[in-house]
Amino acid sequence: MSTALTPSQVPLPPATGAWQEGDPPGRRLWYDLPAPLALEAGGELAGVRLAFETWGRLAPDASNAVLVLHALTGDSHVAGPSEPGHPTPGWWDGLVGPGLALDTDHWYVVAPNVLGGCQGSTGPASLSPDGRRWGGAFPFLTQRDQVAAEAQVADALGIDRWALVVGGSMGGMRALEWAVSRPGRTGALLLLATAAAASAEQIAWAAIQLHAIRSDPHWQGGDYHATDHGPATGLAQARRLAHVTYRSEQELHVRFGRTPQSTEDPWRGGRYQVESYLDHHADKLVRRFDAGSYVVLSEAMNSHDIGRGRGGVRSALRRVTAPTLVAAVGSDRLYPPSQQRELASGIPTADALRLIESPYGHDGFLIEVEQVASLVGELVPHPRTHQEKT
């Protein structure tokens, strides 16, 4: 018999995996918005703080700034090792750094933790102005609110215009919002595995995940942060479901097939390898993320519609003036290439749709770093390559 712990025997995680005041700051910097942030849905959010990380040095004329925007469960730690304050290594570690596509000897790279997130920026796990955790009282956010907060960080850094804005999935939604709402501040645009508007199927997948979290008895309407146990079971289930949509059927078949996990017998209560794989990713997430942030950010993604109040998607996309590349992952079943084709055909400054070849599904935009680096190089050539050509 296997001596490995079953999921029910693994020690319970803390109520939240959010970064908390008193935790090691790591590489984070912070900016406090000087006034409450007006929200698209009405009302305002007071006491907003955004965490962000930077790499490189800002040029005197601020012409070398690049904005990198993370996906749903990402954070500001784009590059660098796992260290105190950063439980995981950089999620695009092969893209940002000396000599890489975003060469930090030349580019000044900025990566904020999204508003509503849980790794240093104001979110449900943060203290509200009254000194209590926001919890279930945290307001509904949209991508436009998040970009409005990021624009204030750019202002504080003295960045009037980004040389490049890049993002995938949820980060791509915000990158697109930057280019549509602030075209004069977006010098070039790279959109990866994202959409002009959340589809009915994407909303449906998210709704099931949100139901899993809210059905957890420890959810308590979102006010669990001061308790011993948060809705870890619900968040873990949401992650299992989401992770299946992030990967392709081909990869799961080739990698796992129907193989049992170690000596476990699926006919006698044991698991298949693919089940163990999902359990592993679920456990990792509940120890580094916050269920309230997962809810807030998922709802913001569901609200994403670049054409809302702008005469529709086609009209909104015509506002983009930045040279643009749109890339799809061929095996992506969550954000299928048809959505990126709509972006590439609707943005007047976009080149032909590019395809990232990958067996990994939606996560291909994170895994296929060399292909992403090549796309970055088309929009903002590596300074050494540019010098050689001139």
- Residues carrying an active site annotation: 169, 332, 362
Cβ contact 235:285 at 8 Å: yes
Q: b vs e for 198-220, b when ≥16 Cβ sit within 10 Å of the residue's Cβ?
A: beeebbebbeebbebbeebebbb
Among 71, 324, 57, smallest CA distance to 186 is for: 324
Among 170, 188, 32, smallest CA distance to 114 is for: 170
Task: Please list, in sequence order, all residues whose beta carbon lies within 8 angstroms of the beta carbon of residue 75, skipping any fewer than 6 positions away.
Answer: 91, 113, 117, 119, 120
Q: How many residues does the chain have?
A: 390
Cβ contact 72:347 at 8 Å: no
The H-assigned helical ranges of the chain are 143-157, 170-181, 200-215, 232-246, 249-255, 273-286, 291-303, 313-317, 337-346, 364-367, 369-379, 383-389
Among 16, 14, 230, 226, smallest CA distance to 119 is for: 16
Task: Please list, in sequence order, all residues whose beta carbon lies within 8 angstroms of the beta carbon of residue 213, skipping any fewer than 6 positions away.
Answer: 219, 231, 234, 235, 237, 238, 291, 294, 295
Q: Give the count of beta carbons closer than 10 Å to the beta carbon of residue 57.
A: 12
With tokens 């794989």, the residue in question is 277
Cβ contact 50:112 at 8 Å: yes
Token pair, residue 175, equals 């990158």
**Distance of alpha carbon 66 from alpha carbon 380, whole angstroms:** 10
* Angle, alpha carbons 240-17-193 (nearest 5°): 50
